A and B are shown apart, each in its own frame.
Chain A
Amino acid sequence: MIEITQEELAIDCFLLAGRMLIQSGAETYRAEDTMLRMASSQGLTDAQSFVTPTGIIFSAGHKRPTRIAQISSRTTDLEKIALINSVSRKLTAGVVTLEEAYEELLKIERTNLFFPIWVQVVASAIASGCFLILFKGTWIDVPFAVITGGVGYLIFLAMHSLTKVKFFAEFTGSLFVGLLSVLFYKIGWGYQLDKIVIGSVMPLVPGLPIANAVRDLMAGHFVSGVAKGMEALLTAFAIGAGIALALSF
């Protein structure tokens, strides 16, 4: 059995891991499972956790404390999920001690693992061009989809860091995608307006929330599933509204 201070540290460590997993876009069951595995490896065998997209409740069992962690923002950061997963594996296997694991988790929280902005923008620009052809567009339109996709994603990132309101950022991003495509089309350079729009709006599509929402529902996590489904629906609505507004010009 671990002592009181050690116990506090352990619960902090588990909550940190769970919170970062949800913030990076992991599935609900993964967050619960990771926390419980880590807990049982430290001798807290009757621990319970309740995870939702906006907060985590973790009880260490019996007379031990119950704690809550608040979650205010969620992004998609697959590398962070992979790193936290490997820390949890190491702790469960007994390769690292609790203190070392906590240190490692704190380090993961502090570092920014994302690719540089320009790499992300170039990636989304190239991906837009690829999707234009996959969705049966013509090769003439590729340069326009590349430009529109890159600019749209750049504006989304800029608005997100400026306003911190995700739905507004998605709305402006897709609005610019729509406006640029209409512009190219009206000038007479672009050939198929709809294909350019579809290709370049792809980087904004909420792929992860949709997939996670239904997986949570299937696993019986109804609270998380419905909440994430709403998030995906709002995002889809923001993108749709931006495109619709641009098309109405």
Chain B
Amino acid sequence: MDWFVQGILSFIGTAGFGIIFNAPKRTLFHCGLVGMTGWLIYYAFIQKGIDAVFATFAGAFLISIVAHVLARQFKTPMIVFSVAGIIPLVPGGLAYNAMRTIVENDYVKSIQYGARVFIIAGAIVMGLVFAEVFMQLIFNEIRKRKAKLSKMTS
């Protein structure tokens, strides 16, 4: 039940962000799907007690891979699918705590929270970039195979 609720809410939330970022109408549903996959992976890792940094990385990695596949299918830039998808992974709570502790003049704690925000934001981007390199390698390999096949048949 819990998983179902998490999935539905992350789907609706990400699709809402698709509207805010003005994604093309025919891709809104898939934007939501991308966000849901990323969030569920993140949630699964967190439930298992794995650190949030690695969970975020895994979520972003999968988001980027799904976004790449969808981008090929829809013939649109991959950014259309990935941007809304990563929003649930943004460490809003930590950033809020960093801000709150500044208001309370507790700068030492604020720096701790701030550093954590920075690392998690870095994990999102690392996930995106790693997946991009990974997909490029795969697509290159597929292209090579195809070229070889067409040479053999001709």
* B90 proximity list for chain A (CB < 8 A): 202, 205, 207
From B48-56, B93-101, B136-144, B145-153, the one touching the partner chain is B93-101
Q: Does A69 contact B (CB under 8 A)?
A: no
Interface size class of B (residues with CB under 8 A): 35 or more
* A115 proximity list for chain B (CB < 8 A): 19, 22
Residue with the greatest number of chain A CB neighbours at <10 A, chosen from B15, B92, B97: B92
Question: Do residues B13 and A127 form an inter-chain contact, with CB atoms below 8 A?
Answer: yes
Q: Say what secondary structure dominates the interface of chain A.
A: helix
* B98 proximity list for chain A (CB < 8 A): 240
Q: A194-B100, A248-B103 are in contact. Are A127 and B16 (CB under 8 A)?
A: yes
Q: What per-residue 1/0 map shows which CB atoms of A210-221 lie under 8 Å from chain B?
A: 110011001000
CA distance in complex: A115, B25 (Å): 9
Question: Do residues A134 and B22 form an inter-chain contact, with CB atoms below 8 A?
Answer: no
Q: Does B135 contact A (CB under 8 A)?
A: no
Q: A133-B5, A134-B9 are in contact. Are A243 and B125 (CB under 8 A)?
A: no
Q: Does B65 contact A (CB under 8 A)?
A: no
Question: Do residues B22 and A130 form an inter-chain contact, with CB atoms below 8 A?
Answer: no
* B39 proximity list for chain A (CB < 8 A): 134
- Kindly identify which residue among A76, A114, A123, A131 contacts B92, using a CB–CB cutoff of 8 Å: A131
A-B contact count (CB 8 A): 138
Question: Do residues B13 and A124 form an inter-chain contact, with CB atoms below 8 A?
Answer: no
* B102 proximity list for chain A (CB < 8 A): 240, 244
Question: Do residues B20 and A78 form an inter-chain contact, with CB atoms below 8 A?
Answer: no
Q: A79-B22, A218-B129, A244-B103 are in contact. Are A202 and B79 (CB under 8 A)?
A: no
Interface residues of A in 105-135 (CB under 8 A from B): 113-115, 119-120, 123-124, 126-127, 130-131, 133-135
* B33 proximity list for chain A (CB < 8 A): none
* A133 proximity list for chain B (CB < 8 A): 5, 9
* B62 proximity list for chain A (CB < 8 A): none
Q: Does A60 contact B (CB under 8 A)?
A: no
Question: Do residues A130 and B92 form an inter-chain contact, with CB atoms below 8 A?
Answer: no
Q: A135-B93, A194-B100, A210-B125 are in contact. Are A120 and B77 (CB under 8 A)?
A: no
* B121 proximity list for chain A (CB < 8 A): 210
Give A147 Cβ to nearest chain B Cβ, in Å: 15
Question: Do residues B17 and A127 form an inter-chain contact, with CB atoms below 8 A?
Answer: yes
Q: Does A37 contact B (CB under 8 A)?
A: no
Residue with the greatest number of chain B CB neighbours at <10 A, chosen from A119, A131, A210: A131
Question: Do residues B79 and A78 form an inter-chain contact, with CB atoms below 8 A?
Answer: yes
CA distance in complex: A202, B99 (Å): 15
Q: A134-B13, A207-B90 are in contact. Are A27 and B79 (CB under 8 A)?
A: yes
Q: What per-residue 1/0 map shows which CB atoms of A70-102 lie under 8 Å from chain B?
A: 000000111111100110010000000000000
Question: Do residues A211 and B83 form an inter-chain contact, with CB atoms below 8 A?
Answer: yes
- Kindly identify which residue among B10, B76, B93, B103 contacts A198, using a CB–CB cutoff of 8 Å: B93
Q: Does A30 contact B (CB under 8 A)?
A: yes
* B13 proximity list for chain A (CB < 8 A): 126-127, 130-131, 134
Q: With A30-B77, A201-B96, A247-B103 given, can you name 12 additional A-B contacts, CB distance below 8 Å?
A: A76-B83, A86-B75, A119-B19, A123-B16, A123-B19, A127-B14, A134-B10, A135-B92, A202-B92, A211-B83, A215-B128, A240-B95
By Cβ-Cβ distance, the 4 closest A-B pairs, closest first, are A127-B16, A130-B13, A123-B19, A214-B125
By a beta-carbon cutoff of 8 Å, the part of chain B in contact with chain A is 5-6, 9-10, 12-24, 27, 39, 75-77, 79-80, 82-84, 86-88, 90, 92-93, 95-100, 102-103, 121-122, 124-125, 128-129
